[in-house]
Amino acid sequence: MARLEVVVAGVTLRNPTLLASGFLGETGASLVRVWKAGAGGVVTKSISREPRLGYPNPTVFEADGSLLNAVGLPNPGIGAYEAECRSAVASGAPVVASVFGSTPDDYAAVAAAMEGYGAHAIEMNLSCPHVEGTGAEIAESEEAVRVYVQAVKAKTRLPVFAKLSPNVAAIAKYAAAAEDGGADGVTAINTVKAMAIAPELKMPVLAHGTGGLSGPAVKSVGVRCVYEIHAAVDVPILGVGGIATGRDALEYLMAGASAVQIGTAVMFRGLDVFAKVAAEIGSFLDAEGYGSVKEVVGVAHG
Amino acid sequence: MGSLEIVRIVDLVREASHTLTYRFPATFGGEAGQFVMVWIPGHDELPMALSYLGDVKGITVQAMGDATRAFASFKVGDRIGVRGPYGHAFRVRGTSCLFVGGGTGAASLIAAIEAYAAAGKEVTTVLAAKTKSELIFEKRAADSGRVEVSTDDGSKGFKGFATPLAEKLLDEGDFDQIVTCGPEKMMFGIVQSAMRRGIEVQASLERYMKCAVGICDACAFDDDLLCVQGPILEGARLAASRDFGHWRRDRSGVRVPL
């Protein structure tokens, strides 16, 4: 049996699948459920200093297995999140704390608190496509990415991942900026900025108008982004975007990801998706004669 | 996940002073107790129980918030979005059931009441409201069996809450099961009473929802998600609950008193 355990930026995962941020993860209970269902690790919902209500409904729209959302980063705030984070950590799950804010200081403060709550790594959500002031403005500036990462690195000893936006012309530049700022890894990709319109109503379906697309429709975009990032930086990559099967995950691993995150697929494969994808990766590695996940990381680069 | 359907309102019925039933055709199925997400264009999208099943479904809505008040001005021919159905249906067992509906909670029960009666079983329904003009589905319930009414102000039937009226009926009669939907404090009392008497009970709960398909965590209830594990929960589950009757989560996910 091929070895499924991976170590990414010092964090040991029993298999290379993590829950992606934004799916479940608003409560400790749901993170524990995902861990018990077989994930290698979990990423929390993105948490800010203060509570946020998010946008009015409709906030999600599903079509053909892909998901368009503009939930607007609702979260209970870092204070109320303590109990949730601690209960997830107590379960034994590797917990990656997703953080965001409006200033470098916001990010750093939330990250420092998460370290205090026992989280094992930080993921900076630099790229939410549908919240003004905490998304595109950062993700589209190499200088901002560098400065924000530096601010967080200064306030935590945990490994820090920068989650990048695909809504840019050349994503690798931003990965390099994150690495330059001291990031221990990057996560790619966040959702793809998108819109759906109800023709009979002559209006966008989401109350916010635009949203972020996830699911099978964005997989090829994500694989391309990870491939480009792998060629540009040395830090490990968490690949995310449309992964529902072991084969999907293998595309990301071979493009250069050290582990993968899964979100939308929970909708149609259930919480078992983590165990299933891990098993499917294992079967492929065995059949093809690989001894571990690590052996396939980046092999598509030749 | 049920795909979004844009449908026309084909019929509008005023059930009570601030409560309307909207009928619309939809291609998806649906069982008694399940809910749909209803998009009121320009205003909100909300979870609502199906008060009519079949090809022309129905939802019954009390105008009490901004969105539902705006919805009250909609006319026949206007369009809304619907997706679903979501959640579990009622599983009404035995041959004699007490249904307890408080306020618009009766909308969630009425299709189950009719199905139970149609199967030749004995229906007793408690319909409760603040006042006489807010009672809904009295005739539909009466067509299915015995109806007892309570109003907070005594304008019709028993004066007081639904729980003491239900207690009285439970003292007098023999029921295999209790099925309830209404304000959570009311359901809490009904469930306690049922557990004390050793009668099976189910309650249909409500929480703030966004996705309705088990991925957003907005409707967290104890360690479950109400959209997937609910909205109908059994007595034993509710008796062991930390949240039932006490806690909900606000739109940000902070746990707050009910």
- Residues in chain B with CB shorter than 8 Å from the CB of A73 are none
- Residues in chain A with CB shorter than 8 Å from the CB of B37 are 57-58
Q: Which residues 63-122 of A have a C-beta within 8 angstroms of B?
A: 63, 67, 69, 71, 74-77, 80
- Largest distance between two CA atoms of chain B: 50
Please tell me the predicted confidence (pLDDT) of residue B60: 98
CA–CA gap between residue A256 and residue A228 (Å, rounded): 9
Q: Which residues 120-159 of A have a C-beta within 8 angstroms of B?
A: none
What's the 3-state SS for A231-254? HHCCCCEEEECCCCCHHHHHHHHH
- Looking at the DSSP bridge assignments, the partners of residue B146 are B124
- Residues in chain B with CB shorter than 8 Å from the CB of A206 are none
ipTM tops the 0.90 cut: yes
**Segments of chain A scoring below 70 in pLDDT:** 128-136
> A46, A57, A67: best mutation site toward chain B, by most B Cβ within 10 Å?
A57
User: Three-state DSSP class for A261?
Assistant: strand
Q: Check CB contact of A48 with chain B, cutoff 8 Å.
A: no
Give the residue on A whose Cα is nearest the Cα of B37. Answer: A58
Please tell me the predicted confidence (pLDDT) of residue A137: 75
Nearest CB to B215 within list A76, A201, A267: A267
CA–CA gap between residue B175 and residue B124 (Å, rounded): 9
Give the residue on A whose Cα is nearest the Cα of B214. Answer: A267
Smallest CA–CA distance, residue A91 to chain B, in Å, is 14
Residue that has been written with the tokens 């408080």 in this structure = B102
Nearest CB to B79 within list A25, A26, A200: A200
Smallest CA–CA distance, residue A60 to chain B, in Å, is 6
Q: Which of A128, A164, A206, A281 is catalytic?
A: A128
- Residues in chain A with CB shorter than 8 Å from the CB of B224 are 29
Whether A225 is catalytic is no
Smallest CA–CA distance, residue B123 to chain A, in Å, is 37
Q: Flag if A29 and B79 touch (Cβ within 8 Å).
A: no
Nearest CB to B220 within list A30, A59, A266: A30
How far is residue B140 from each of residues B108, B132, B158, measured CA to CA in Å? 13, 16, 19
Successive 10-residue mean pLDDT values, chain B, 258 residues: 88 96 96 97 97 96 95 97 96 96 97 97 98 96 98 97 96 96 97 97 97 94 94 96 96 93
> What are the tens digits of pLDDT across the range A168-225?
999 999 999 999 999 999 999 999 999 999 999 999 999 999 999 999 999 999 999 9
Please tell me the predicted confidence (pLDDT) of residue A135: 62
Entry pTM: 0.94
Please tell me the predicted confidence (pLDDT) of residue A127: 77
